[in-house]
Amino acid sequence: MSGAGIRVVVVDDHPVFRLGMMSLLATLPGLQVVGQAADSASARALVDDTVDVVLMDLDLGGESGIDLTRELVRAHPGLAVLVVTMSEADESVAAAVRVGARGYLLKDATPDAVERGIRAVASGEMIMGPRVAARAMAHLVGGRTAVRVPFPELTAREREVLDLLARGYDNAVISRRLVLSPKTVRNHVATILAKLSLSDRAAAIVRAREEGLGVDHS
């Protein structure tokens, strides 16, 4: 940590959230925002060994914040990644921690919680938002057998897209149901095909249904 305080980079593909977060951090003593990125390539170019904390969204418009976290932590061992995202899914939390994230907050966290999270991970602590921590504790105390997650190599958002794909929906419908742009849906589909080594949408539908996706369990 430099004499200028905690040096922070914000990585999020939503400009309103990203700029709002930067405005908040600019008001906090001892914190210095040194950059912002909307995608993986920009983040790689910004983050170096002088950066203390990266605030990381998990869904970067078709790119994976999990993969980027793994890459940045490996390249910069002193870096602390604090995930700030919409997903409170157990598998997303577990994946983030496995690749080296030191904290996990939801995007509805209060400004005080964000500040506490940044200062905590910068000092080497692990921190989770209250809802995330409560779910983790319930899982441990309840002693439940872990539920097998289909396609663990996919992000939670990619599994949502694949599930809707397996239901026979086209990109336009998936876009409306998940409130995503058509381009983002196309990027997700392309990433899913690449990660699962599938040739086309038809093959993805077959694989997804084999794993139980695309089925109405109600």
Give the whole-angstrom CA distance, residue 164 versus residue 132: 26
Contacts of 16 (CB under 8 A, 6+ apart): none
- Residues in the chain with pLDDT values less than 70: 1-4, 133-149, 215-218
- At residue 214, the pLDDT reads 82
Give the whole-angstrom CA distance, residue 40 versus residue 61: 10
Question: What is residue 58's DSSP assignment?
Answer: S
3-state helix, strand, coil in the chain (%, to 5): 50, 15, 35
Q: How many CB atoms neighbour CB 9 within 10 A? A: 24
- At residue 70, the pLDDT reads 93
Locate the domains of the chain by residue range. Answer: 6-141, 156-210
Contacts of 105 (CB under 8 A, 6+ apart): 82, 83, 84, 85, 113, 114, 117, 127, 128, 129, 132
Give the whole-angstrom CA distance, residue 24 versus residue 116: 13
- At residue 47, the pLDDT reads 95
- At residue 63, the pLDDT reads 84
Question: CATH classification of 156-210 is 1.10.10.10, yes or no?
Answer: yes
Helix, strand, or coil (residue 121)? helix
Task: Classify domain 6-141 at the CATH class level.
Answer: alpha beta
